[in-house]
Amino acid sequence: MSEFLCTTGLPEEYQQLTKSVRDFTRAVVAPVAAQHDADHTFPYDVVAGMGELGLFGLPFPEEYGGMGGDYFALCLALEELAKVDQSVAVTLEAGVSLGAMPIYRFGTEAQKQQWLPDLTAGRALIGFGLTEPGGGSDAGATATTAVLDGSSWVINGSKQFITNSGTDITAAVTVTAVTGRDASGRKEISSIIVPAGTPGFEVGPAYDKVGWNASDTHPLSFADVRVPADNLLGRRGRGYANFLRILDEGRIAIAALSTGAAQGCVDECVRYAKEREAFGTRIGRNQAIAFKIARMAARAQTARTAYYDAAASMLAGKPFKQQAAIAKLVAGEAAMDNARDATQVFGGYGFINEFPVARHYRDSKILEIGEGTTEVQLMLIARELGL
């Protein structure tokens, strides 16, 4: 896969995937995006269509219902979806990289057989219960606890900003919890699968968000929630370390999503600048507008190159933490900068929610916050530089 960086185009299988997702996005996603955004409704039909297309199973083996592809294939799909609807894109991103991937990476064979077939088909979703009200970027400050009582874990605590946690097809949430302390007194953090509907597990009302209005996001609470001891995901005490790996991978996926958002703004502006007339000429002939869009295109291409590079290192089995952080940083800022500039190009129309650039303007800010803030990415990059 790494050879594509020095070629004029992607390998044929990736091109075919990109075209399939682009066609699906235009035919299925785009016509309903504005309405779902306005109504704050979860796009079940669109999610079902993504499942039928195989998008939820892209990076998983066929033995678990997957498509036998790789993580880069997922990234290409996310880029295409995010050009039109970031809510739909993040539903897929969280469903795969934060929901199903921990099961695949760290689960027992029994857990994989139980959960993955429905997850890879898009029939079910699993939330990623990491962030807490008192933690934010400091995931090591986990306060949720899980005590082993006989053959059950008893969980108490809360989580917030959890994507895909309250839909009709949410099957479970994987939560990080303090399960003890080591000899030096440091927290032992483990991850545990909590099925939906377990007594004591409550999903709070959906957040009233600035953007991503068609994405499902809730706070969660756990009051003496009992689940079988076998619901431990991965080794006890490795939950935090395992989720850090998941977040490194997820940053590449979010970078791909951000790149799609940045490119979507370019595409909309190019179309509009060729059609819109002011002062007797099309605005694209105005150098101020043309140069603004040119800078937007440069940002999108830079972001794309960054996430391609990170994905290539990951799939080659090389260290990729720094590349993933750079990709997430560059792409998130590109999406926000392009959304701002696109809104300016569209003028008053850019302030009307039915126009895609207006939704991108509201949606893109979270790309500088979610799955690691810009400041966290800078910290990771500096640390990898030895600073």
Q: Output the DSSP codes for 62-113.
A: GGGT--S--HHHHHHHHHHHHTT-HHHHHHHHIIIIIIIHHHHHH--HHHHH
Tokens for 52? 């039928």
d(CA 201, CA 190): 18
CA–centroid distance for 283 within its chain: 35
141 with 176: CB under 8 angstroms? no
| 3-state SS class at 366 | helix
- The DSSP 8-state label assigned to residue 28 in this structure reads I
Q: Which amino acid is it at 216?
A: D
DSSP 221-257: EEEEEEEEGGGEESSTT-HHHHHHHHHHHHHHHHHHH
CA distances from 38 to 208, 210, 212, 245 (A): 12, 12, 10, 35
User: What tokens appear for 373 in the block?
Assistant: 């803030």
- Where are the extended beta strands (E) located within 170-216? 170-181, 187-195, 201-203
Distance, CA of 80 to CA of 261 (rounded, Å)? 9
The one catalytic residue among 93, 268, 368, 371: 371
- DSSP, res 198: -
Distance CA(387)–CA(382), nearest Å, equals 5
| Residue 255 backbone dihedrals phi, psi, to 5 degrees | -65, -40
371 is catalytic: yes
Query: DSSP assignment of 299-319, as one string?
Result: HHHHHHHHHHHHHHHHHTT--
Active site positions, annotated: 371
